[in-house]
Amino acid sequence: MLLAIDVGNTQIKSAVFEHNTLLQKEIISYSDWKNILKNILKNFPKIENIVVSSVGKLDKTDFLELKDGVNVFFVSREIVFPFKNKYETPNTLGIDRMVLSAGAVLQFPKQNRLIIDAGTCITYDFVDENDNYLGGAISPGIRLRYESLHNYTAKLPLLVKDNPEQSVGNSTTQSIHSGVINGISFEIDGFVNSILEKNDNFIIILTGGDSEFLAKRLKNTIFANSNFLLESLNQIFQYNQND
C-alpha cells in the first residue's frame, strides 16, 4: 500500500492506494495535518511507502517522523520523469505541474495532452504525443478572482462562487458571478480551442478543486478527474521504482 500526499498552497490532500486502486481520500487542513496523517497510517498498517509532492510550506523532513519503517519518496526535479522538459526555465516549473504532466504521459501514451488544473491558480500544461513538455499558462483561479475584485475595489462585495443566472447580470452580485465564472469558462474554452486548431490526437484533462464545478460549463469534451494529481503521484512512484 502507498499513501500519496499533495501539499498545496491552502490545503493538503491525501489518498491511500493499493496498486492503482484508490481506497480512501482525505482533504486536510494545515492546522492538524500531522495527527491526521498518523491516524491514516494507523488505520492502514500495510502502507509501506509515502509519496509526497509539495508546493506549500512542508518539505521532506516534515514527513520522516510520521511512522518508523515507512519509506518517504519526495518528488523533486532530481527524480525520473517520463517526459522531456522543453520549458525555457525548467527549474521554475512547479512540481505539481510536473507531476500532472507525468500522470498524463503514463495514463495516456502517444497522445497530445493538455492538463488543466483548476485550483488556487488555473494552470495549463501541454505535453505532445512524443512526450515533450512544451509549457502552458498560469492564471488566477476562481477564489483569487472573487477576492481580487473585493480587495482592490472600494465597494464590491466578497462573494462565494456560484453559477451565474444569466450572462448579463442584472445586479452587482450577478455581474460579479458572470464576470468570474463565465470569464474563466471562456478562458478555458478559448485556450483549448487555440491548441486544438494546431493539434489532433488530443486528450484534455481537467482536475483540481474546482474541476467538477467547471466541467459542466465547458463546451469542449474533457476528461474531468479531481483526483488526477493524487493518481499521478501513485503512478510516478511506480515509474521510478521500475526505472
Cα distance between the two ends of the chain: 19
**What Rg value do the Cα atoms of the chain yield, rounded?**
19
CB 174 within 8 A of CB 166: yes
Q: CA–CA separation, 147 vs 217, rounded Å?
A: 22
Cell numbers representing residue 20 in the block: 492503482
Tell me which residue has cell 464545478: 213
CB 60 within 8 A of CB 79: no
Active site residue 96: yes
15 sits in which H/E element: strand 12-18
Question: Annotated catalytic residue: which of 6, 96, 117, 210?
Answer: 96
Residues identified as active-site:
96
